[in-house]
């Protein structure tokens, strides 16, 4: 063992690491790293010889990897995510003399096939059309209606919608301004680079206007700001907004039928805070992915989609574009035929 190493427990190292990273990354990233690393801390605490990270070896890291896969029943994609975070953490531990230099290189990541690391969950355009028709007829002007219109048309992340204030919305010019405000706890994933104006359609503005006029609760957050999306306690939480989306996107809600042949009244996904258990309900990010794919299918240029949705062209192609190769070829042919 390197004589220059200074004893430290895994839990203490993790807290020091997260505190230091707060200056560099968003709160959501901090929470994600906390979640991934807490399993490593738990495992270390269960090992008799690892109460001091100085003793950590490459063989220990391999043992942890096998334990974590079995403990969480994790697939390759999730394992890569978890071990990549661990690798960053161990590299940081090297810099503070907690572990041997070069130890992070001994963390072996699973090999992924070309498409294995791409997420497939998506609200497709036909489902989105049905959902919006239902919301416009039966939930007009509700908070969930306004939110879904905004997410589908604007293709924004839930964090961006959560951080909107009332005066970020301009009904006359028909746009919302997305801003990074970390000092008052509404951060953007890409920080200042994520700031932008997003133009809205008249129909989206009508939904937001109705929500503001009839359904929005007059409320301030803890910093004296007036959120666009509110609850009795101020700015509605991101988790509540996500739950709104899961509840609304259960097909039985907006079509009246269950595609899984379940008895709707007794389905577990109809319980309070259980909507995500429906195999066909989707997250806000699936709406974003569907929106991006829809815009691309409608021949909106990739650069314009990337700028509007705040996503690089590489990430857009890898993680968001769900057009089939046949659809892409057909669009290219139609484009060239019109030149």
Residue range 67-92: mean pLDDT, rounded: 85
pLDDT of residue 319: 58
Domain containing 278: what range? 125-292
Shared domain for 170 and 264, answered yes or no, is yes
**Which residues are CB-contacts of 28 (< 8 A; sequence separation ≥ 6)?**
159, 187, 189
Q: Per the domain annotation, does 59 fall within a domain?
A: yes
Give the pair of three-digit tokens for residue 339.
């030149």
Quick: pLDDT tens for 127-177: 898 899 999 999 999 999 999 999 999 999 999 999 999 999 999 999 999
Shared domain for 259 and 141, answered yes or no, is yes
pLDDT of residue 262: 78
Shared domain for 55 and 166, answered yes or no, is no
Q: Give the number of domains in the chain.
A: 2
Strand partners, 220: none
Check which CATH number belongs to the domain holding 189 and give it.
Answer: 1.10.443.10
- Domain end position, chosen among 47, 79, 106: 106
pLDDT of residue 71: 86
Quick: pLDDT tens for 259-294: 777 788 889 999 888 998 888 888 898 899 889 888
Determine if residue 207 is left, alpha or beta; phi over 0 gives left, psi from -120 to 50 gives alpha, anything else beta: alpha
Shared domain for 221 and 141, answered yes or no, is yes
Distances from the Cα of 47 to the Cαs of 10, 82, 90, 98, 249, in angstroms? 11, 20, 18, 17, 44
Burial class of 18 by CB neighbour count within 10 A (0 to 12, 13 to 18, 19+): middle
Shared domain for 145 and 211, answered yes or no, is yes
Contact status, residue 116 vs residue 249, Cβ threshold 8 Å: no
Q: What is the distance between the alpha carbons of residues 147 and 137, in angstroms, rounded to a whole number?
A: 15
Shared domain for 46 and 188, answered yes or no, is no
Check which CATH number belongs to the domain holding 39 and give it.
Answer: 1.10.150.130
Mean pLDDT of the chain: 86
Q: Per the domain annotation, does 329 fall within a domain?
A: no
pLDDT at 339 over 90: no
Q: Per the domain annotation, does 74 fall within a domain?
A: yes
pLDDT of residue 228: 98
pLDDT of residue 251: 87
Q: What is the distance between the alpha carbons of residues 158 and 171, in angstroms, rounded to a whole number?
A: 21
Q: Per the domain annotation, does 79 fall within a domain?
A: yes
**Which residues are CB-contacts of 120 (< 8 A; sequence separation ≥ 6)?**
322
Shared domain for 102 and 249, answered yes or no, is no
- β-strands 196-199, 175-178: how paired? antiparallel
pLDDT at 317 over 60: yes
Share of the chain above pLDDT 90, in %: 55
Quick: pLDDT tens for 16-62: 999 998 887 667 678 878 988 999 999 999 998 899 999 999 999 99
Give the pair of three-digit tokens for residue 11.
């839990």
Q: Per the domain annotation, does 135 fall within a domain?
A: yes
| The 3-state secondary structure of the chain, one letter per residue | CCCCCCCCCHHHHHHHHHHHHCCCCCHHHHHHHHHHHHHHHHHHHHCCCCCCHHHCCHHHHHHHHHHHHHHHCCCHHHHHHHHHHHHHHHHHHHHCCCCCCCHHHHCCCCCCCCCCCCCCCCCCHHHHHHHHHHHHHHCCCCHHHHHHHHHHHHCCCHHHHHCCEHHHEECCCCEEEECCEHHHCECCCCHHHHCEEEECCHHHHHHHHHHHHHHCCCCCCCCCCCECCEECCEECCHHHHHHHHHHHCCHHHHHCCCCCCCCHHHCHHHCCCCHHHCCCCCCHHHHHHHHHHHHHHCCCCHHHHHHHHCCCHHHHHHHHCCCCHHHHHHHHHHHHHCC
When pLDDT is cut at 50, 70 and 90, the band that residue 77 belongs to is: low
Shared domain for 16 and 89, answered yes or no, is yes
pTM of the model as a whole: 0.64
More confident residue, 243 or 335: 243
Shared domain for 150 and 282, answered yes or no, is yes
Shared domain for 87 and 140, answered yes or no, is no
pLDDT at 336 over 60: no
When pLDDT is cut at 50, 70 and 90, the band that residue 333 belongs to is: low
pLDDT of residue 146: 98
Shared domain for 41 and 148, answered yes or no, is no
Contact status, residue 241 vs residue 158, Cβ threshold 8 Å: yes
Place of tokens 């004296």: 224
pLDDT of residue 324: 62
Q: Which of 285, 277, 289, 280 is nearest to 250 (CA)?
A: 280
Shared domain for 254 and 201, answered yes or no, is yes
């Amino acid at each position: 063992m390197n004589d220059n190493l200074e004893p430290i427990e895994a839990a203490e190292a993790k807290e020091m690491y997260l505190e230091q990273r707060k200056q560099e990354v968003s709160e959501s990233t901090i929470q994600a790293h906390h979640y991934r690393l807490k399993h490593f801390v738990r495992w270390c605490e269960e090992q008799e010889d690892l109460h001091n990270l100085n003793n950590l070896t490459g063989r220990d890291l391999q043992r942890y990897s096998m334990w974590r896969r079995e403990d969480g029943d994790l697939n390759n994609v999730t394992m890569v995510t978890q071990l990549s975070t661990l690798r960053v953490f161990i590299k940081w531990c090297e810099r503070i003399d907690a572990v041997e230099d070069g130890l992070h290189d001994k963390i072996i990541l699973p090999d992924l096939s070309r498409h294995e690391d791409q997420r497939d969950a998506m609200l497709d355009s036909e489902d989105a059309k049905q959902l919006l028709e239902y919301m416009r007829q039966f939930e007009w002007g509700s908070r969930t209606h306004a939110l879904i219109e905004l997410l589908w048309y604007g293709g924004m992340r839930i964090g961006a919608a959560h951080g909107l204030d009332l005066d970020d919305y301009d009904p006359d010019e028909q746009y919302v301004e997305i801003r990074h405000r970390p000092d008052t706890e509404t951060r953007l994933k890409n920080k200042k680079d994520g700031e932008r104006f997003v133009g809205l359609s008249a129909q989206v503005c009508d939904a937001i206007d109705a929500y503001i006029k009839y359904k929005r609760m007059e409320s301030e957050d803890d910093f004296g700001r007036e959120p666009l999306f509110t609850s009795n306690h101020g700015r509605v939480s991101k988790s509540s907004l996500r739950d709104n989306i899961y509840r609304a996107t259960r097909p039985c809600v907006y079509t009246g039928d269950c595609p899984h042949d379940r008895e709707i009244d007794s389905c577990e996904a109809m319980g309070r805070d259980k909507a995500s258990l429906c195999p066909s309900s989707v997250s806000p990010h699936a709406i974003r992915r569907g929106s991006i794919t829809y815009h691309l299918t409608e021949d909106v240029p990739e650069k314009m989609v990337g700028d509007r949705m705040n996503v690089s062209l590489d990430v857009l192609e890898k993680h968001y574009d769900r057009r089939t190769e046949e659809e892409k070829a057909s669009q290219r042919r139609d484009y060239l035929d019109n030149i």
